């Protein structure tokens, strides 16, 4: 059972907008930055969003992040087939004194 | 090119030990905090441990304390993870991840390809 809760799956058709949620608590998302990682099939994770809503260079602006209270979300607009991947949220947790990841959301592009 | 490359994985019997290595290149290794993250087959990501750039502080996932030891050698641009008393549940791909600097501090911005550890008799 992950400290950060994500839906196990999400789906959409090309061009659609998809939102992936990440629910935590006051000891993690409520008081620390949220990070999002994309893991394409058979590859290592890749940083997608840092500090709640910042995109590293090279990440398309179709990807956006936000945080509100103890929850965060990742929005993907203009869905493309190459977005099919697993997405993980992460944050520091004061109670566990360490990093925590969400369980991951498998995005399927129909 | 900025990269980290893990090595040292393999098949180990329960109760055995293993030392994973991560070779960094293309960036000033000694100025970056480093981490280990693992992923069991078909499962999600699990943060394992982190070490500050100067080795003065180390952190471990609560559930893994005692059997895992993270270390680094800045002169060799290398990160290590010693795992003792291996259990079947330690079977996973172990990733080395760099922690960002400045604006992207705390973000895991560079990842290796991972090294597979299989614990089985």
pLDDT tens digits, B73-120: 999 999 999 999 999 999 999 999 999 988 778 899 999 999 999 999
Which residue of A lies nearest to B60 if distances are taken between CA atoms?
Answer: A98
pLDDT tens readout for residues B51-79: 999 999 999 999 888 899 999 999 999 99
- Give dist(CA B36, CA B112) in Å, integer: 10
Q: Strand A9-12 vs strand A105-109: parallel, antiparallel, or unpaired?
A: parallel
Contacts of A10 (CB under 8 A, 6+ apart): A18, A19, A20, A105, A106, A107, A108
A46 CB neighbours in chain B (<8 A) are 111
Give every residue of chain A whose pLDDT is below 50, as ranges. Answer: none
Instruction: Among B3, B51, B108, pick the best mutation site for testing chain A contact (most A Cβ within 10 A).
Output: B108
Select from A39, A50, A92 the Cβ nearest to the Cβ of B104: A50
Contact status, residue A35 vs residue A85, Cβ threshold 8 Å: no
Q: How high is the pLDDT of residue B102?
A: 80
**Quick one: pLDDT at residue B96?**
98
The verdict on B84 touching A (C-beta cutoff 8 Å) is: no
Distance between CA atoms of residues B48 and A3, nearest Å: 15
């Amino acid at each position: 059972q992950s400290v950060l809760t994500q839906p196990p799956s999400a789906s959409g058709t090309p061009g659609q907008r998809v939102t992936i949620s990440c629910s935590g608590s006051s000891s993690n998302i409520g008081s620390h930055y949220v990070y999002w990682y994309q893991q394409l099939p058979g590859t290592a994770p890749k940083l997608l969003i840092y500090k709640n809503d910042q995109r590293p260079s090279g990440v398309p602006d179709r990807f956006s992040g936000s945080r509100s209270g103890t929850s965060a979300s990742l929005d993907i607009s203009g869905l493309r087939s190459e977005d099919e991947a697993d997405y993980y949220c992460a944050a520091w947790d004061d109670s566990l004194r360490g990093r925590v990841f969400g369980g991951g959301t498998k995005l399927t592009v129909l | 090119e900025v990269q980290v490359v893990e090595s040292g994985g393999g098949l180990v019997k329960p109760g055995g030990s293993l030392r994973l290595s991560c070779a960094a290149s293309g960036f000033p290794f000694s100025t970056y905090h480093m981490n280990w993250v693992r992923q069991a087959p078909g499962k999600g990501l699990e943060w394992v441990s982190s070490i500050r750039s100067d080795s003065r502080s180390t952190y471990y996932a609560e559930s893994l304390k005692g059997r895992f030891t993270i270390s680094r050698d800045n002169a060799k641009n290398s990160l290590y993870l010693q795992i003792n008393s291996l259990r079947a549940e330690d079977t996973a791909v172990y990733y080395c991840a760099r922690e960002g600097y400045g604006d992207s501090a705390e973000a895991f911005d560079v990842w290796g390809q991972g090294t597979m550890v299989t614990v089985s008799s």
